A and B are shown apart, each in its own frame.
Chain A
Amino acid sequence: MNKKLLGVALALVAILVVFLLLTWLLGSVFNIDRFKTGENPVLRFVFVIVGLLIALGVYYATKDSKAWEVGTRQVVWMAIGAALYAIFSWLFNGTVFVVPSVSQVALRPAIAIPMFFGYAFGPIVGFFTGAVGNMFGDALTGFGLYPQWSIANGLIGFIAGMPLLFSDKKKSLDSVLIAGGVLTALGILIYFLNPGVVNQLVYPFDQPVSVFAGISILVGFILVVIVRFGFGKNIDIAAAVTWGMLGNILGIGFAALSDIWINGYSPSVAIVGEFLPAAGPNLIFAAILVPLLVVAYAAVQKQSGR
């Protein structure tokens, strides 16, 4: 086992220990309801451990891949991505630009930035772009910090960068598309089983999720499918949009589900009230803006030869 792999393994074990300690300390010692593990505590940690093992496995299987390299270029790209994401999220948070929201769907086009940077420059750059960019964006607006949303945005960029790990981009695409489709269908199903859940993203928090916000994820998914097959010849566009979609669903899903513990939401509120109205519109923006960025970047690459 080489030194770097050992380092990664140790870091993952440390994350697990911190998790266990926090839950034990806050749940059992201080009796805070939110952190109580409830029924099947072992099962929940099995999920955490499985998640960490998957991370280790992915790293081990691909540790020679160029995607994990962090050199001068990556450092600068990280900074550019994070700064752009911060600026765009600040501008479109309804501060400088008052962009009208269409039936509860706020225009948040900035989400295309971590997806594009993840796709073009690899998972590490994507993660930094999402996580640090979100942090600075929130700080600029004066919101304070929300660590779970920073991590969620980081995950979006990270997963969008996954195709760099595959030598053949085409092969993985269809399974990613199917996985996204299954998750989308699941979200829609939960929406129709729980109508009238209050939208947690539209202030004041008293309107139920509108039908459009509820099914926007389906609209987004259909757009992604159109882009995937409509631009099937340009595999870069198809891969960027498809993986970005998976990143968006998993990343926002992570933040929404973590709010079950952090904000004390019930699972249906977390999924219908938070996940769908955030992930759906994001998907629509991504399906339109990411291809534009990929095409523009390809032109730059051709010109500069890098």
Chain B
Amino acid sequence: MLVTWRYHKRKSLIQWFDPRAWIIFYLCFMVSTLFFWDLRFQSFFFVISLIVLFTSGVTWKEIRRAFIFIIGFIFIYAILTFLTGRGGVEAYKQEHIIRSLSAQFTIFGWRPTLIISVERSFFAVSQLARVFSIAVMTILIPYTLNPSLYGVTFRGLGFPDKIAYAMDLTMRFIPTFGRDFQLTMDAQRARGYELDKIRGGLIEQVRKLGPIIVPVTIHAIIGSEDIIDAMDLRAFGIGPRTWLEVLNYRRRDRIIIAFGLVLLATSLVLLFLGYGGFWVPDILIRLVGG
């Protein structure tokens, strides 16, 4: 049995567009976001992602788990950047130190020191905005893309029939295998198999993962025979494929594609003109007396 993503029809900005148009826009958005470290440019993308999130029609209840996980992940990432100052080393050359905290103890002659500087803090904020925009846009896709349109969407994006169909099946299988994984894990636990605390040396640890990975994989392969039979009965791959649903670009779809492309082109031009690098507001530096 297939499990599906939590898609349903919603009043939603994303679902108002053709899925192909949205995927193209998403790709342009993501690539453009990656070019910038400057918070002024980042905030533009940040606002777009917030607008998309709040008009997506996805309720908090539906998205809660995925969202909390991603937000937690982003915060840990940003805090680590802030604490260690790594990751931004190439972005700025000098630091304006607000406060420097040294630990009272040493570990093997190394004294843990926390340096809080304007650049570090601001870098963490910029990183937070950047990762957040991309993450929000990405997690909304499975909630807002109609599963019956996966195949025709990828076909419409220019993939050959068979590859488009394989991508369609991949997206459909992911939640199913997630469920199978959970079931297998529960079954192994019921047999007294300890998965929560995997102990032992590296090789022992890997060997212990066998009892979950092998059954899930083999079960998936055995289950595939039914799908193969069903597809063969419908003469899959004999001639050029026709799709049940037809997608047509409407005016709004052309507009969103054009917007995405303009966004990408503008970002590229700004990048080549040398904009978009890491930026710290002067006022903050003056505040600490720099």
Contacts and interface: CB of A to CB of B under 8 A. Distances in A.
Contact of B177 (A77, A84, A95, A284): A84
B272 A30 contact: yes
A295 to B, nearest CB: 9
Given A80-B224, A142-B139, A206-B86, A75 B206 contact: no
B174 A75 contact: no
A185 interface: no
A57 to B, nearest CB: 24
B167 A132 contact: yes
A288 B80 CA distance: 33
A83 B138 contact: no
A75 B162 contact: yes
B218 interface: yes
B164 to A, nearest CB: 10
Nearest to B216: A84
A87 B206 contact: no
Interface stretch (A13-21, A97-105, A187-195, A253-261): A97-105
B86 A113 contact: no
Contacts of B214: 289, 292-293, 296
Given A83-B173, A86-B170, A284 B206 contact: yes
Interface in B103-141: 131, 134-135, 138-139, 141
Interface in B208-251: 209-210, 213-214, 216-218, 220-222, 224-225, 227-228, 231-232, 236-237
Interface in A87-134: 87-88, 91, 95, 97, 99-100, 102, 105, 107, 109, 112-113, 116, 128, 132-133
Given A75-B236, A112-B213, A297 B169 contact: no
A144 interface: yes
Interface stretch (B12-20, B54-62, B195-203): B195-203
Interface stretch (A65-73, A227-235, A240-248, A271-279): A65-73
A300 B232 contact: no
B97 interface: no
A211 to B, nearest CB: 14
A76 B84 contact: no
A100 B167 contact: no
Interface in A283-306: 284-285, 288-289, 292-293, 296-297, 300, 304, 306
A33 B77 CA distance: 29
Contacts of B86: 204-206
A80 B205 contact: no
A100 B177 contact: no
B171 interface: yes
Interface residues of B, number: 62
B238 to A, nearest CB: 10
Contacts of A107: 205-206, 209
A78 interface: yes
A136 B224 contact: no
Nearest to B168: A79
A296 B210 CA distance: 11
A288 B206 contact: yes
Interface string B65-76: 000011001100
B198 A289 contact: no
A145 interface: yes
A144 B218 contact: no
A162 B218 CA distance: 22
A76 B220 contact: no
Contacts of B163: 128
Top 3 A-B pairs ranked by shortest CB distance? Answer: A79-B169, A83-B173, A142-B135
Given A32-B272, A144-B134, A289-B214, 8 more contacts: A79-B169, A82-B170, A83-B172, A84-B173, A132-B166, A132-B170, A140-B174, A142-B70
20 contacts: A72-B228, A72-B237, A73-B228, A75-B231, A75-B237, A76-B228, A78-B166, A79-B168, A83-B172, A84-B177, A84-B217, A95-B69, A102-B205, A105-B202, A113-B217, A128-B166, A136-B174, A204-B80, A204-B87, A293-B217
